[in-house]
Amino acid sequence: MKIILIIVLALVLENSFVNSEVKNVPSQYSTIQSAINAAAHGDTILVAPGTYLENINFRGKNIVVTGTFYLTNDPSLITSTIIDGSNPSQPDSGSCVIICSGEDSTAVLQGFSITRGTGTKWNDEHFAGLYREGGGILTALSSPVIRFNIIHNNVITNLTGVISTGGGGIRMGDGYPRFYNNIVMNNSARYGAGIVLNYTGGQLKNNIVCANYGSVQFGAGSGIWINGNNIRQIVIVNNTVAGNSSLTGYSGIYGGASTLFKNNIIWGNPSPSNTQVSYSAGMTYSLIQGVNSGVGNINADPLFADSNYVLQNSSPCIDKGDSSIIYNDMPDQNNPLIAKYPSRGTLRNDIGAYGGPLAALLSNQLIGVQNISSETPERFNLYQNYPNPFNPVTRINFDIPKSGMVKLAVYDALGREVSRLVNEYLAEGSYSAELNGIALASGIYFYTLRSGSFTLTKKMILTK
């Protein structure tokens, strides 16, 4: 009887696998959500490049929702496949993506630019009250795989009926999500502007968390905010947390006493406490600004080669991660003793997002501000963007004669901020930042540079 039941179960599973389908958006389904609604476990939702003005929910389905990036590994397909959550049907459900119905590790979200979400009103599972969380992505009681996405410019400001707002980029709670090879940048919330991990296990590997800003509560944690004792451990390995800023507390990482934390860079996260992390004991083989203790830890300039946070050849992070083989960089196919780019040096782990077995180039565009000159300018300057008019990418150059907090933001004709290109502490020098206007409508925009008492604004035109 047992043999018969095993055979029947095997046939059912085989039939389920054979019957899995690929549902194409928009050629078969006009929206991502309509494809999800029609999907069954095991199906793949394949989304062509374009802008999808919607807020999607996996609805408990173990499916793969993917852009076309995985077919070619071309990072430009991530920036051109956009889930724009700025117009939710219900204002209290403003997350771009919700995965909160028990989905497991066969539920996958990959290959998207996830932007302009405003968070979801959420009754905390641990009886802490109502919060608005997860501007870009909200996961709860689920264990999805989230990889190769750019989660950016999600801002949660609505305090109506809630205690606070958290997880501007992503909020993960009470599950075991795998969060790999993502960029989390330019998001804002009152705590955990970039990432919130609330009573959850999970893995964060090879992510860049940068330029998230504005956190003011609960220890701040504009880069990563961690709370709760978890049955399953949080693993944070080979990430770069840089250029995040908060108004109180710790801008880099808040919390994480029970976290497995190694091979990470935490650098250039200004805050009033002037401290990158709230808890450094147990952090190993990492570059942590201001921390001079701990096994294998380094306190030195990581020497980024560019604003994608790739390392220079002279970086102190090269070959300085945990020497265990499981953390080794991937070998170059033409020279198996040398690490495959974007890793550098030998096969020993490189500290930061571009080290270890999952290392991959996350963007072929500059994702932050680039220092194009080390000479000290004589005065503040904001130059006319080039090209202008532009479609969809333009570059803005500026000079900073003295170090300090710098903000470069873009506004529409009504004065609404539509993009924050720079919000970090910069040394004196000449800089360049890129604006990708693919998610913006044609029209006139203004960009403003602020540093200390200096403010200057210029106009530009986007044509499509």
Q: How open is the CA angle 330-113-68, to the nearest 5 degrees?
A: 65
Query: pLDDT tens digits, residue range 35-65?
Result: 999 999 999 999 999 999 999 999 999 999 9
Provide the pairing of β-strand 165-166 with 119-123: unpaired
Indicate if the pLDDT at residue 123 is higher than 70: yes
Does residue 9 register a pLDDT over 50? no
Distance CA 313, CA 304 (A): 9
* Residue 226 to residue 204: CA distance in whole angstroms: 12
The mean pLDDT value for 163-180 works out to 97
In this prediction the pTM is 0.80
Residue 406 has pLDDT above 70, yes or no: yes
Amino acid 424: pLDDT: 78
Residue type, position 218, single letter: F
Token pair belonging to 316: 């102190």
| Torsion (CA) 98, 104, 109, 110 in degrees, nearest 10 | 160
Three-state DSSP at 2 gives helix
All domains of the chain in start order, with CATH: 2-339 (2.160.20), 370-462 (2.60.40.1930)
- Quick one: which of 398, 396, 397, 402 has its CA closest to 376? 402
Task: Give pLDDT tens digits for 371-394.
Answer: 666 567 888 889 888 888 888 878
Residue 187 CA to residue 215 CA, distance in Å, equals 10
Tell me the residue ranges of DSSP E strands in 174-323.
178-180, 183-185, 195-198, 202-205, 208-210, 213-215, 224-227, 234-237, 240-242, 245-246, 253-254, 260-262, 265-267, 283-284, 287-288
Neighbours of 198 (CB within 10 A): 25
Lowest mean pLDDT among 80-89, 90-99, 133-142, 404-413: 404-413
User: With 50 as the cut, is the pLDDT of residue 229 above it?
Assistant: yes
Distance CA 208, CA 368 (A): 11
331 CB-near residues (< 8 Å, 6+ apart): 337, 338, 339, 340, 347
Whole-number pLDDT of residue 12: 34
Residue 60 pLDDT: 97
Mean per-residue pLDDT for 228-248?
88
Which one of 95-99, 232-236, 400-404, 416-420 scores highest in mean pLDDT? Answer: 95-99
The overall average pLDDT reported for the chain is 89
What is the predicted pLDDT for the residue at 1?
Answer: 41
CB 1 within 8 A of CB 23: no
What is the per-residue DSSP string for 423-454? EEEE-SEEEEEEEE-TTSPSEEEEEEEEETTE
- High-pLDDT (> 90) share of the chain, %: 63
Q: Which residue has the higher pLDDT, 463 or 149?
A: 149
Q: How far apart are CA 105 and CA 177, in angstroms?
A: 7
